[in-house]
């Protein structure tokens, strides 16, 4: 639901792809506004979502917001007939609802994953997003060119959201102690690894959180990550269509290829992170910094080279985009899971803060493209976009490398948590 519009909007604005379905005369500037609409509201509920998850558990917040997110997907084909602003409104609703997802997921990770499996399992969960992208982009391209047309893609993904809700109502649980069918041995292993005191509730130490350099290191890391990732995720289909001249079906398939690489490499990267820490080769802090360095500097270099190519050859451009996104998977073992390291008790709240601020930069990425790329076939304008994203990745890594930490912070402890 989050990414299919990146491919769908190509079919929605090109009457040659499937003349049997409506198309709209939206300029690239309008399309960039539509694609950024998701992020206009995505960062808004983040902090509140983290607080609510920490206080009440995330299960029903995830359930209700997924229902409304699915409804917003259903409505896009209907709203498109009225105005692009109606489509933007659907994306704003979708973004607000999905703003609950990551804080709630981080809460679940903090309650369900033993410390020695943290990198692997967190990467496995977070890589579900890229896996969805791998499925959605080529599927949307194929659907858009088929007899059922682009509207069916939105109906399909909305339906899948509803099916997820039904499954999660019966199978989901906030923590092992509340799960009805978990074995005693598994529950004991998880709780002993994490510590039973992690279940106790304490006031949020706001002052300590906002004065914590490790927290701000994650904020800067998230900001750089989401700027670069969102720019690539939302703009690759347009770049492939305008500069590389791929048709809609090839566009969807090749747009998904980088995310397939990300999903596959995430398993190796996360295994290596756990290996380095469990074998005591690196401390948790250095493990996180190494993973973040690979995840930031890899795509920075690939995007820099892509910009320097001038008029890019198809094979070179696709290869560099695959490398940029694939290497970025190391971030799942870096900043993405770092909240649980520094404060397992307030992990959901920290994700609300860092994800909220970080995704404000995700909102900026499509708008930067809007103002720089006036002609989507002009590779020189795209070169500037890639250079900016590369620089953002580098700056983020430098800050995180200096101030990041993998150690539990003092304000996570009960005796310090009463300072608000």
**Does a structural domain hold residue 199?**
no
Contacts of 196 (CB under 8 A, 6+ apart): none
Cα(415)–Cα(205) distance, integer angstroms: 11
pLDDT digits (tens, 9 = 90+) for 31-49: 878 887 887 888 889 889 9
Cα(400)–Cα(72) distance, integer angstroms: 36
Cα(347)–Cα(412) distance, integer angstroms: 10
Per-residue pLDDT, 420: 45
**Does a structural domain hold residue 330?**
yes
CA 72, distance to chain mean position in Å, is: 19
**Does a structural domain hold residue 384?**
yes
Tally of domains within the chain: 1
Nearest to 408 by CA among 197, 122, 103, 220: 197
Better-predicted residue by pLDDT, 19 or 148: 148
Q: Which residues of 120-154 are buried (b: 16+ CB within 10 A; e: fewer)?
A: bbbbbbbbebbbbbbbbbbbbbbbbbeebbbbbbb
**Does a structural domain hold residue 338?**
yes
257 C-beta neighbours (distance < 10 Å), count: 19
Residue 290 reports pLDDT greater than 50: yes
Per-residue pLDDT, 9: 87
Residue 197 reports pLDDT greater than 50: no
Residue 312 reports pLDDT greater than 70: no
Better-predicted residue by pLDDT, 254 or 402: 402
Cα(183)–Cα(175) distance, integer angstroms: 13
Give me the count of residues in the chain: 420
**For residue 23, what is the DSSP state?**
-
Handedness of CA 166, 170, 172, 173 (dihedral sign): positive
Residue 417 reports pLDDT greater than 60: no
Nearest to 374 by CA among 108, 30, 22, 102: 30
**Does a structural domain hold residue 85?**
yes
pLDDT digits (tens, 9 = 90+) for 140-158: 888 988 889 899 999 999 9
Mean pLDDT of 208-237: 89
The two three-digit tokens of residue 225, written as one number: 């990550």
Phi-psi region of 282 (alpha: psi -120 to 50; beta: other; left: phi over 0): beta
Better-predicted residue by pLDDT, 40 or 420: 40
Cα(373)–Cα(170) distance, integer angstroms: 47
CA end-to-end span of the chain, whole Å?
38
**Does a structural domain hold residue 412?**
yes
For residue 321, the enclosing domain spans: 4-193+204-416
Residue 419 reports pLDDT greater than 60: no
Contacts of 245 (CB under 8 A, 6+ apart): none
Per-residue pLDDT, 20: 86
CATH number of the domain that residue 239 is part of: 1.20.1250.20
Residue 253 reports pLDDT greater than 80: no
Residue 415 reports pLDDT greater than 70: no
Mean pLDDT of 157-176: 93
**Does a structural domain hold residue 262?**
yes
Residue 60 reports pLDDT greater than 50: yes
pLDDT digits (tens, 9 = 90+) for 380-414: 888 898 899 999 999 999 999 999 999 999 998 76
pLDDT digits (tens, 9 = 90+) for 262-288: 899 999 999 999 999 999 999 999 999
Specify which of 301-310, 341-350, 372-381 reaches the highest per-range mean pLDDT.
341-350
**Does a structural domain hold residue 198?**
no
**For residue 116, what is the DSSP state?**
G
């Amino acid at each position: 639901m989050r990414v299919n519009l990146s491919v769908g909007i190509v079919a929605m604005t090109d009457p040659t792809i499937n003349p049997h379905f409506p198309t709209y005369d939206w300029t690239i500037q309008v399309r960039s506004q539509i694609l950024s609409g998701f992020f206009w509201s995505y960062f808004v509920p983040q902090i509140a979502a983290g607080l609510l998850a920490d206080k009440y558990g995330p299960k029903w917040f995830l359930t209700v917001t997924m229902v409304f997110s699915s409804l917003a997907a259903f409505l896009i084909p209907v709203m498109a007939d009225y105005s692009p602003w109606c489509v933007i409104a659907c994306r704003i609703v979708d973004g607000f609802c999905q703003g609950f997802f990551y804080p709630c997921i981080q809460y679940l990770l903090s309650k369900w994953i033993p410390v020695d499996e943290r990198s692997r399992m967190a990467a496995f969960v977070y890589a579900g997003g890229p896996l969805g992208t791998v499925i959605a982009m080529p599927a949307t391209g194929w659907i858009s060119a088929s007899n059922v047309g682009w509207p069916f893609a939105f109906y399909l993904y909305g339906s899948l959201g509803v099916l997820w809700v039904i499954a999660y109502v019966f199978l989901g649980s906030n923590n092992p102690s509340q799960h009805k069918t978990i074995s005693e041995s598994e529950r004991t292993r998880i709780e002993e690894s994490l510590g039973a005191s992690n279940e106790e509730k304490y006031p949020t130490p706001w002052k300590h959180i906002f004065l914590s350099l490790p927290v701000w290191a994650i904020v800067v890391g998230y900001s750089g990550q989401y700027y670069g990732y969102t720019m690539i995720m939302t703009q690759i289909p347009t770049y492939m269509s305008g500069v590389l001249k791929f048709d809609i079906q090839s566009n969807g398939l090749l747009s998904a290829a980088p995310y397939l690489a990300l999903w596959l490499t995430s398993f190796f990267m996360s295994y290596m992170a756990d290996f380095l820490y469990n074998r005591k080769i690196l401390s948790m802090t250095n493990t996180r910094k190494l993973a973040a360095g690979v995840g930031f500097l890899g795509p920075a270099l690939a995007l820099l080279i892509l910009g320097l190519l001038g008029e890019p050859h198809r094979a070179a451009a696709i290869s560099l985009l695959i490398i940029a996104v694939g290497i970025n998977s190391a971030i799942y073992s870096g900043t993405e899971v770092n909240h649980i390291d520094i404060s397992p008790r307030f992990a959901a709240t920290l994700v609300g803060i860092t994800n909220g601020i970080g995704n404000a930069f995700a909102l900026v990425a499509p708008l930067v493209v809007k103002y720089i790329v006036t002609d989507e076939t002009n590779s020189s304008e795209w070169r500037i976009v890639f250079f900016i994203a590369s620089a953002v990745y580098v700056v983020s890594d430098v800050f995180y490398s200096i101030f990041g930490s993998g150690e539990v912070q003092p304000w996570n402890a009960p005796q310090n948590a009463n300072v608000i």
